[in-house]
Chain A
Amino acid sequence: MAVIDIKNVTKKFGDNTVLNNITLELNDEISAILGPSGSGKSTMLRCINGLEPIQQGDILVDGVSVKTRSNLRRIRKTCGMVFQQFNLFPNLDVIQNVTLSPIKILGQKRASAEKHAHSLLEKVGLLEKARHYPAQLSGGQQQRVAIARALAMNPKILLLDEVTSALDPEMTADVLKILESLAGEGTTMIMVTHEISFARRVSKRILFIDQGSIAADMPTDAFFSVDDQRIQKFLQHVG
């Protein structure tokens, strides 16, 4: 069954149409959204958890519509999100970043939230940084904390918005390693990425977005061997 059901969605910024009548279903698996810059990839991800409102159509997350404002908090608990710029809270240390929402929103006890946070930080290899502040960490470390923070809410789906685009190759490798192990555990992920080889390795399905429309939607293997000029040109340019 589809966990995310996108129906005839149109999204505009002023007169500029960013998503043009998109319809697709995303399943309980790993999907990668590829496409040139400015094609609407990130916007689509941000529409799924309601960070961007849509003008037409509807998106159902686990059967719940983003069109009703009061549903949004429920949807956002279903979808964890990791951002390109990490967006850790600079006033809080690592453990506080990871436990803030479980304590304040899920009502967990501090002790159990911290216990969970410790196991997540261990998973991302940063347990020894628990008492550091974001500014004291490298970009790659910050992004790994951001992944732990998203996982701390026990989301059903993880939305990854170009999570390695602000990182150098070495840090990128660290972050991808963690995502790969999450993939191995069967976490549902929808990722917007420019890491083509990574997408090829872990995702089951590729969505290729071009100028606000779905230009291709196919299993990963098929995508990389398809005889389509637009896709071939894109793949050549990103290497």
Chain B
Amino acid sequence: MSSLYFGDVFKNADVLLRGLGITFLISVGSLVLGLIIALPVAFMRNSRSGLLRFPSSLYVEFFRNTPLLAQLFFFFYGLPELGINTNAIVVAIIAIGLNTGAYNSEVIRAGLLSVDKGLIDASYALGMSPLQSTVYVVLPNAFRVAFKPLSSTFINMVLGTSTAASVTANELMNSAVVLAGNVFRPFEIYSTIFVGYCLLTFTLSFIAKFADYHLISKHGKMKNALKSSVGVSG
């Protein structure tokens, strides 16, 4: 029986760290793409016009009802067939960005719907145009509601970037697979990348909680929390 040996992991730390860096790159790229897509899609899905609603619904339903892995393969092997040649990391950002954009748009849409009609009335009564009302009142308040669920879909998405390993993007998961094949230390290598993923997600959720407290909760939710706790003890 062999014993655990982490020497090969340390010797190849640079490979794993580069993989972690690329995982981070794909995550940030997909996040940005996902948010850029999600906002207009959320407005289109809430629109009264069927012409806007139909394509946006098609997009959301397609990406939420098919596997991410299949979407990745489709873009990675399908695009070159159309003469579009691009590298695995870019394909991963596009596929994962489109996928997370579909989920994000639903979260943002729910945030938009949650904005109290009274606030919109008040903005109009103060003389705002529909665009001003949207920019100054609806969006900031929708964002307050959507922030927490968005940060949780983001963390899910970070873990989902590991699927990019299967289309040759040399991110953390892929680096681990290659390394495990070379040095035959799967237990040590995969347990090491668990730590890598945890470091990434813990950092992100800490940043999200910090931002949520300082930008949002500090200004109001505290009081409600206090009220309900008084209610329970009283």
Contact = CB atoms under 8 A, between A and B. Distances in A.
Contacts of A79: 125
Contacts, number: 78
Contact of A87 (B121, B136, B222): B121
B171 to A, nearest CB: 37
A89 interface: yes
A81 B125 contact: yes
A79 B127 CA distance: 9
B64 interface: no
Which secondary structure dominates chain A's binding surface? mixed
A85 B144 contact: no
B122 interface: yes
A173 interface: no
Contact of B119 (A81, A87, A153): A87
A153 B127 contact: yes
A87 B224 contact: no
A83 B128 contact: no
Contacts of A88: 122
A115 interface: no
B140 interface: yes
B116 interface: yes
Interface in A113-149: 133-136, 146, 149
B116 to A, nearest CB: 7
A105 B132 contact: yes
B223 A101 contact: no
Contacts of B221: 135
Contact of B220 (A51, A73, A80, A136): A136
Given A77-B127, A91-B144, A135 B119 contact: no
Contacts of B118: 83, 85, 87
Contacts of A83: 118, 121-122, 125
A158 B129 CA distance: 20
B124 A51 contact: yes
Nearest to B221: A135
Interface in B168-206: none
Nearest to B137: A89
B126 interface: yes
Interface in A93-108: 93, 100-101, 104-105
Contacts of A104: 128, 132, 136
A69 to B, nearest CB: 11
Contacts of B137: 89
Nearest to A85: B118
B141 A89 contact: yes
A123 to B, nearest CB: 18
A65 interface: no
A90 interface: yes
A91 B219 contact: yes
Given A89-B119, A89-B137, A90-B141, A135 B220 contact: yes
B76 to A, nearest CB: 42
Among A83, A85, A87, A93: residue with most chain B CB under 10 A: A87
B121 A51 contact: yes
19 contacts: A72-B124, A76-B125, A79-B125, A83-B121, A88-B122, A89-B123, A89-B136, A89-B137, A89-B141, A90-B144, A91-B140, A100-B126, A100-B136, A101-B127, A135-B222, A135-B223, A136-B220, A149-B126, A153-B126
Given A51-B125, A87-B118, 5 more contacts: A51-B124, A73-B129, A91-B141, A135-B219, A135-B220
Interface of B: 116, 118-119, 121-129, 132, 136-137, 140-141, 144, 219-224
Interface of A: 46, 49, 51, 72-73, 76-77, 79-81, 83, 85, 87-91, 93, 100-101, 104-105, 133-136, 146, 149-150, 153, 159
